[in-house]
Chain A
Amino acid sequence: MKENKKSLNQIKDNKEDKITRKEALKKVGKYAAFTAAASMLILSPKASQAASTEPEHPGW
């Protein structure tokens, strides 16, 4: 009987796990890949040629 109770508890736990996974998926978004943010990346080159090191200019 104890074993059965254990089994029932295990089954209960598994059900709770399943619910937790469902909730987790909802949070992440099953269709997360089908958003612009996830599937597109905009890259902007520099507006003009630039020297990378900033010069020293002690007081214009």
Chain B
Amino acid sequence: MVTIKNKNITEFIVREIENKQIVWFKNSNRYVQMEKPAFTVFDKLQMGESFDSIVKFLYSNYELPAIEGKKFIKEIQEILDNEIYNSKTLITKKDHGQKITLPEKFYSEITYHFVNNSFLLKYETAQIEQMIHPLFAHLETTNRQSPNHQIQLFFNNKYLNLVSDNILIGQWKKDDDHFFRGKVFMELLNKAYSKKEDDWMSVLHASAVGNGEKCFLIAGESGSGKSTLSAILMANGFNVIADDFVPIEASSSKVMQFPAAISIKKQAFEMISSMYPELLKAKEFYYEKLNKTVRYLVDNNANKSISSGLDIKAIVFVKYLENSGMQLNKMSKNEAFRRLVPDSWVSPLAENAERFLDWFASIPCFELTYSDNDKVVTSLKSLIYDEL
């Protein structure tokens, strides 16, 4: 069911998922989960029904006294006014108006082969190189033929700058360097797949693991074991299409390959190195802000370009728990939505938000707790081969 406001302008979109209504608001690009009484009030308000009429409705249907009913309606009205009229979609300001001066010299210039394209990345400093290169070092090529694209990354007037094919893409403050890196990744994807930002439905903080025909997503909070599980699955015949940064194409709702290396945290070194001895020799990186140490493991698909995307079969929320064996259970879709959305970028375009809701409504979600690697591999093989 889609509810479209009058004047042929999509101001909000509604989807019912497991007896709750999820309403997306265009102005704020936020999703509001509503229980039935709240949604009924919202629906009546946006249809123009009078305050008194809604109070009477609440009394006759829920025995809600008028004084409580009025309070309830006012609270909902305030929230909706904020979502529809006051909130503005937060957009990273692309241009901070700083005059751009390209560096005279770059610390390094490295060419990468990324999904059937060659990219020359120029890093102004060693620090900027450290932000990007470790993830793509395995894609470095010595082929000096003219690259398809050039990306220049440098520091200018206290801002990190991203220039792609001589066009300034954006500027970010130091504290927003995770957004800077995200945009570098998007620029690689856009150029490699000949797309624009509007062609992407979402970028999820997850890993995408598959069998060459379809995939499932491994989601969870930082430290829950997503990348570790990806590495375990890769050692058991799965392909890792994307780790930590999963781009989903809008028109097809498919995951597109993002061949960055898999980051393995210190606590998993021993276990993963038993499957991948090369990890023992890999360079170690310490991230002070997060107080974590990682090494990078190369995805076995990285040097094989997969230009077509993969359908997503399921989302699996993972948690490694010592001595837990293996439990894989279907989870509440609304709980899954609550966990997925705040950790994801979702396109602010109405047609993409609608696609996102349609896609999510169709995807089964599971909760996985495990400590037994063999059991989890067997179980996830069953999942992807439709045996569950």
Contacts and interface: CB of A to CB of B under 8 A. Distances in A.
B174 A60 contact: yes
Interface of B: 28-35, 37-38, 58, 62, 64-65, 68-69, 71-72, 75-76, 78-79, 83, 90-92, 127, 130-131, 155, 174, 177-179, 181-183, 185-186, 202-203, 205, 222, 244-245, 263, 285-290, 292, 294, 337-338, 341-346
Interface residues of A, number: 29
Given A31-B68, A49-B183, A55 B177 contact: yes
B16 to A, nearest CB: 15
A39 B19 CA distance: 13
Contacts of B343: 46
A44 interface: yes
Given A41-B33, A49-B183, 20 more contacts: A31-B68, A34-B37, A34-B58, A34-B68, A39-B38, A43-B32, A43-B337, A43-B342, A45-B31, A47-B92, A48-B345, A50-B182, A51-B181, A51-B182, A51-B245, A52-B205, A52-B222, A52-B245, A54-B287, A56-B286
6 contacts: A38-B35, A41-B338, A45-B202, A48-B183, A50-B178, A52-B205
A56 B345 contact: no
Q: Which 9 residue pairs spanning A and B have beta carbons closest together? A: A36-B75, A51-B181, A49-B182, A39-B38, A55-B131, A47-B90, A39-B35, A45-B346, A50-B182
B103 to A, nearest CB: 15
A37 B75 CA distance: 9
A35 interface: yes
Contacts of A57: 127, 130-131, 174, 177
- Chain B CB within 10 Å — which of A45, A48, A55 has the most? A45
| Binding site secondary structure of chain A | loop
Interface of A: 31, 33-60
A37 B203 CA distance: 29
Contact of B34 (A31, A40, A47, A51): A40
A40 B79 contact: yes
B327 to A, nearest CB: 25
- Chain B CB within 10 Å — which of A47, A55, A56 has the most? A55
